[in-house]
């Protein structure tokens, strides 16, 4: 009986257990035609093993070594891109990152046999991208539909303060991953998790030793030095994570940066405690992180001096006493004086003095000058560090979570956020790329606090439309729009530098189905005031005559034609970034000899909690038809469970906006 059971057991494990050792690719894996859980997948990670440990070099100190091993199944040619791997390697003053011991094999099933092709030197390349970055690339040989590839390499980095996030989710399914992270007792560690995946971290410890040698003078009589070989014993803390069957992560519209939702874990050093030395904290809370950043030479130090600009500032501020005016003066001055060199960063690059002299610099160069100059003017001003949308939401307290710095002035308890790198920016009107959740405001004493970045006020567009149907049934009319907030900012960014002809063409591109004349734009290059747009138009197909009756939509070219949400389902929140409102006031003069036969019904719509609202009111007043319509999104971040409602909301708005008014002959 025992034997039988054992036999059964072995049999079962033979069927279900896979061998994840390098080189042990099975026929089952090779013959698999599609992924069992995600049949649409072009490739899948069958197994990933990432094992990290600290090593010691007597000359350069501790460094981190990660052994990576991946087994990837490629189902079809759309998954071939997975056969090429790229690793970005940074090099700085403290040393450089390296990839070593690359090995790889491609497995194909040919006539029932497993055919192996090894990765050789001619498939490995190192591109020296720039002074600071190299890119190690390799591409696997003999890639066929259905093949399995395996590769492994070691990644070595001396940058203990910048440990890469360990990804536990990918654009393709991940069947199984094992992560091991071992760290000597000298280092305190923070662990941060993100994504929806339940991640269980097993902790363990063991004794470990590192060989160590030193030279010792062998005596007073010149016997020469002697090398003493010994070892250092310490305890190593080990963290282990195992995940299985993690589905692929997929892009969706209006979801911001998809990486925010991707499951992963990040380790970061929080302190060091070398034998016989006190604990040195590195960063463990948002407070610590902020303070560490502030204390850096290329940050807080840069706020100290005012000598390089004091004459300019004195001249600028002479005779001005109102703090509000001071803030505007200084902001506009720095905005005009400095040009952004397109480099991001929360640390200065040139240094504020050099940047000021040159007139250009990175984000930190420019906005730290702004903070410093505001303080010089007697304003309570502080830097706010943040992470751009591209960089993702700073989910854990790490310094690398931030990549940008702006200025905040405080006046009567109100915060005024400013980014002097954007020439068309305003106080409290930051580029969308920066409106990523919260920023961290750091005060002079190093204390810090969160500040919300997303605007509370609606960005508005109010449009007056007067239309004359005329005798030829060619609708002509006048449009006057006023735009505020981000709607104005977008107009400025798109059309600020265009000549009249280009502006007209751009409008005709935005609003198809009409020809536009006499375009006038006010305040298009002057921030702070609403952008005013006016033009005449002639609708091309807006009015139709069928069976002696006249049909038209009262919104003409403004009728929205497309629902932005097409997917049937939704996983991530819908991120509008800022509240918005569109309002139309339409007045249509009826042609002589016609009467209104049919007019759309009034309508009102509202998403739950008024997250979005829509109102449509139409009526005939004498010889005029008047319409007032307003659409607003009041909640910038809408949870995915409201997706179907939101999709329906747009469908209804679109069909309402395209509803026709019908005129018939009297």
Partner 1 sequence: MKHTLRLAFLFLFFSGFAQEAQLSPLTVDASLQENADSVLRKEILTLDITDPRYLIYKNYRVVSVYNKAGNGDVEAYASYDDNRQIKSIKATVYNVLGQEIETFKERDFKDVSAVSGGSLYEDSRVLYLDYTPISYPYTIIFESEIKSKTTAFLPGWIPMGDYESSTQFSQYEILFNPENKLTVKESNFEGYNIVRKDEPGHIVWTAENLKAVKKEYLSPAFIDHMPYLKCAINNFQLEGVSGYADNWLDFGKWMNTNLLQECNDLPPETISEIRSLVSDKPDDEARARAVYQYVQDKVRYISIQVGIGGWKPMNASEVDRLGYGDCKALTNYTKNLLAAVDIPSYYTVLYAGDSKKSIDEDVVAIQGNHAILGVDLNDDITWLECTSQENPFGYLGDFTDNREVLMITDEGGILKHTTKYGLQDNVESLNAQIELVTEGVKGSFSQKSQGIFYRNGIGLSRLDNKDLKEHYLNKWSQVNALRIDDINLDTKRDSVLCQEDLTFEIPGYITEINGDLLLKPLIFTEGSNKIPPRYSKRRTSFIVERDLNYNQNLVYTIPEGYALNDVPRPIELTTDFGKYSLDFSIDDTGKILCTRQLFLTAGEFEAEKYNDYRDFYKKIARYDNLKVLIKKKT
The binding site for partner 1 (CB under 8 A) comprises: 40, 42, 77-78, 80, 83-84, 117, 122-123, 125, 127-131, 137, 139, 141-145, 339-342, 358-360, 497, 501, 504-505, 508-509, 512-513, 515, 540-541, 544, 546-547, 551, 561-563, 566-567, 598, 651, 654-655, 658-660, 662
In 338-470, which residue ranges form alpha helices assigned H by DSSP?
352-358, 363-376
CB-wise, 78 or 325, nearer to partner 1?
78
Cβ neighbours of 398 (radius 10 Å): 23
Closest to partner 1 by CB, 137 vs 176, is 137
As measured in angstroms, the least distance from the Cβ of 568 to partner 1 is 8
Q: How far is the CB of 587 from partner 1 (least distance, A)?
A: 24
Nearer to partner 1, 176 or 505 (CB): 505
Measured from the CB atom, is 60 or 336 closer to partner 1?
A: 336
User: 496-520: string of b/e by CB count within 10 Å (b at 16+)?
Assistant: beeeeeebbebbbeebeebebeebe
- What is the distance between the alpha carbons of residues 107 and 110, in angstroms, rounded to a whole number? 9
- Identify which of residues 409 and 559 has a Cβ nearer to partner 1 in the complex: 559
Residue 7 beta carbon to partner 1: minimum distance, rounded to whole angstroms: 42
Q: In what order do the strands lie in the sheet with 661-665?
A: 543-546, 549-552, 661-665, 594-598
**Cβ 504 to partner 1 shortest distance, Å:** 8
The percent of the chain in helix, strand and coil, each rounded to the nearest 5, is 20, 40, 35
- Angle among Cα 145, 148, 153 to the nearest 5 degrees reads 135
DSSP-derived letter for residue 655 is H
If the CB atoms of residues 96 and 142 are measured against partner 1, the closer one turns out to be 142
CB 99 within 8 A of CB 89: yes
Q: Shortest gap between Cβ of 598 and partner 1 (angstroms)?
A: 6
Tokens of 442: 């750091």
Give the closest residue to 194 by CA, choosing from 50, 435, 45, 393.
393
Closer residue to partner 1 in complex, CB, 273/648: 648
Complex with partner 1: residue 250 or 529, whichever CB lies closer = 250
Q: How far apart are CA 188 and CA 206, in angstroms?
A: 16
Give me the DSSP letters along 83-148.
Answer: GEEEEEEEEETTEE-EEEEEEEEEEEEETTEEEEEE--GGGEEEE--SSSEEEEEEE-SS--TT-E
Query: Smallest distance from the beta carbon of 505 to partner 1, in angstroms?
Result: 5
**How far is the C-alpha of 307 from the C-alpha of 640, rounded, in Å?**
53
Instruction: For residues 463 and 530, give the distance between their C-alpha atoms in angstroms, rounded to a whole number.
Output: 13
Q: Which distant-in-sequence residues (6+ apart) come within 8 Å of 9 by Cβ?
A: none
From 369, 365, 347, 366, select the one nearest 299 (Cα to Cα).
Answer: 347
| Helix axes 363-376 and 310-317, enclosed angle (nearest 10) | 60
Smallest gap from Cβ 530 to partner 1, in A, equals 25
Nearest distance from C-beta of residue 597 to partner 1, angstroms: 8
Closest distance to partner 1 from the beta carbon of 277 (Å): 41
* Minimum CB distance to partner 1, residue 83 (Å): 8
Closest to partner 1 by CB, 113 vs 203, is 113
Q: How far apart are CA 262 and CA 191, in angstroms?
A: 16
DSSP state of 590: P
d(CA 497, CA 357): 27
Shortest distance, position 236 Cβ to partner 1, whole Å: 39
Considering only CA atoms, which of 363, 382, 380, 369 is closest in space to residue 307? 369
Q: Which residues, in sequence order, are bridge partners of residue 631?
A: 582, 614
Between 508 and 630, whose beta carbon lies closer to partner 1?
Answer: 508
Which lies closer to partner 1 via its Cβ, residue 12 or residue 567?
567
Using the minimum distance from each CB to partner 1, give the nearer residue, 6 or 567. Answer: 567
How do 459-468 and 580-589 pair as beta strands?
A: parallel
Q: Which is nearer to partner 1, 130 or 445 (CB)?
A: 130
559 neighbors 511 (Cβ within 8 angstroms) = no
By DSSP bridging, strand 225-246 and strand 201-217 are: antiparallel
Minimum CB separation from partner 1 for residue 209, in Å?
A: 42
Buried b (16+ CB within 10 A) or exposed e, 87-105: bebebeeebebbbeebebb
When the beta carbons of 285 and 541 are compared against partner 1, the nearer one is: 541
For the record, the structure tokens of 533 come out as 């747009």
d(CA 75, CA 570): 26
CB of 58 to partner 1, least distance (A): 33
Nearest approach, Cβ of residue 547 and partner 1 (Å)? 5
Q: Which is nearer to partner 1, 54 or 356 (CB)?
A: 356
**Beta carbon of residue 279, minimum distance to partner 1 (angstroms, whole number):** 42
CA-nearest of 149, 388, 168 to 267 is: 168
Residue closer to partner 1 (CB basis): 26 or 144: 144
Rounded Cα distance between 516 and 510, Å, is 11
Closest CA to 349 of 299, 392, 410, 409: 299
- Report, in Å, the least distance between residue 342 CB and partner 1: 7
The least distance separating partner 1 from the CB of residue 433, rounded to whole angstroms, comes to 18
- Closer of 234 and 551 to partner 1 (Cβ): 551
The answer to whether 432 and 486 are in contact (CB under 8 A) is yes
């Amino acid at each position: 009986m025992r034997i039988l059971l054992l036999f059964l057991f072995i049999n079962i494990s033979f069927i279900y257990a896979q061998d994840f050792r390098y080189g042990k690719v099975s026929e089952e894996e090779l013959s698999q035609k599609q992924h069992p859980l995600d049949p649409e997948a072009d490739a899948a990670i069958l197994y990933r093993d990432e094992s990290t440990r600290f090593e010691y070099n007597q000359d350069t100190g501790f460094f981190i070594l990660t052994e990576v091993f991946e087994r990837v199944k490629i189902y079809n040619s759309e998954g071939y891109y997975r056969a090429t791997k790229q690793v970005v390697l940074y090099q700085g003053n403290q040393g450089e990152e390296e990839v070593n011991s690359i090995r790889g094999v491609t497995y194909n099933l040919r006539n029932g046999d497993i055919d192996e092709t090894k990765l050789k030197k001619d498939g490995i390349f190192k591109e020296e991208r720039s002074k600071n970055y190299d890119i190690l690339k390799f591409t696997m040989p003999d890639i066929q539909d259905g093949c399995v590839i395996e590769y492994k390499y070691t990644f070595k980095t001396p940058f203990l303060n910048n440990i890469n996030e360990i990804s536990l989710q990918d654009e393709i399914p991940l069947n199984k991953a094992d992560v091991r992270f071992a760290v000597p007792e000298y280092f305190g560690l923070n662990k941060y998790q993100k994504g929806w995946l339940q991640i269980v971290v097993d902790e363990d410890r063991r004794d470990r030793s590192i060989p160590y040698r030193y030279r010792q003078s062998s005596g007073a009589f010149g016997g020469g030095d002697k090398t003493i070989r010994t070892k250092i014993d310490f305890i190593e803390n080990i963290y282990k994570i195992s995940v299985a069957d993690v589905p692929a992560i997929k892009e969706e519209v209006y979801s911001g940066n998809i990486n925010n939702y991707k499951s992963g874990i990040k380790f970061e050093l929080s302190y060091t405690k070398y034998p016989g030395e006190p604990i040195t904290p590195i960063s463990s809370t948002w407070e610590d992180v902020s303070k560490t950043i502030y204390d850096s030479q290329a940050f807080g130090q840069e706020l100290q001096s005012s000598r390089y600009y004091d004459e300019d500032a004195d001249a600028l501020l002479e005779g001005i006493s109102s703090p509000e005016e001071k803030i505007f003066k200084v902001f506009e001055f720095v905005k005009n004086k400095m040009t952004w060199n397109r480099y991001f960063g929360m640390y200065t690059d040139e240094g504020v003095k050099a940047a000021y002299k040159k007139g250009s610099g990175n984000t930190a160069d420019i906005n730290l000058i702004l903070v410093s100059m505001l303080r010089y003017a007697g304003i309570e001003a502080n830097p706010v560090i943040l992470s751009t949308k591209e960089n993702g939401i700073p989910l854990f307290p790490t310094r690398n979570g931030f990549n940008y710095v702006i200025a905040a002035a405080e006046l009567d308890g109100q915060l005024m956020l400013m980014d002097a790198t954007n020439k068309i920016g305003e106080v409290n009107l930051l580029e969308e790329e920066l409106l990523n959740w919260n920023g961290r405001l750091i005060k002079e004493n190093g204390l810090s606090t969160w500040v919300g970045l997303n605007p509370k006020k609606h960005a508005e567009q109010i449009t007056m439309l007067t239309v004359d149907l005329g005798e030829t049934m060619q609708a002509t009319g006048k449009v006057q729009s006023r735009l505020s907030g981000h709607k104005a900012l977008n107009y400025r960014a798109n059309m600020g530098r265009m000549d009249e002809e280009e502006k007209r063409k751009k409008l005709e591109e935005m609003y198809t189905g009409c020809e536009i004349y006499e375009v006038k734009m006010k305040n298009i290059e002057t921030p702070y005031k609403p952008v005013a747009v006016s033009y005449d138009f002639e609708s091309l197909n807006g009015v139709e005559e069928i069976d002696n009756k006249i049909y038209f939509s009262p919104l003409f070219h403004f009728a929205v034609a497309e629902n932005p949400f097409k997917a049937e389902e939704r996983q991530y929140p819908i991120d509008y970034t800022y509240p918005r409102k569109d309002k139309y006031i339409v007045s249509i003069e009826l042609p002589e000899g016609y009467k209104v036969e049919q007019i759309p019904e009034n309508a009102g719509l509202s998403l739950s909690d008024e997250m979005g609202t829509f109102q449509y009111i139409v009526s005939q007043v004498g010889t005029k038809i008047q319409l007032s319509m307003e659409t607003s999104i009041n909640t910038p971040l809408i949870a995915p469970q409201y997706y179907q409602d939101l999709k329906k909301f747009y469908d209804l708005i679109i069909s309402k906006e395209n509803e026709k008014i019908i005129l018939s002959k009297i």
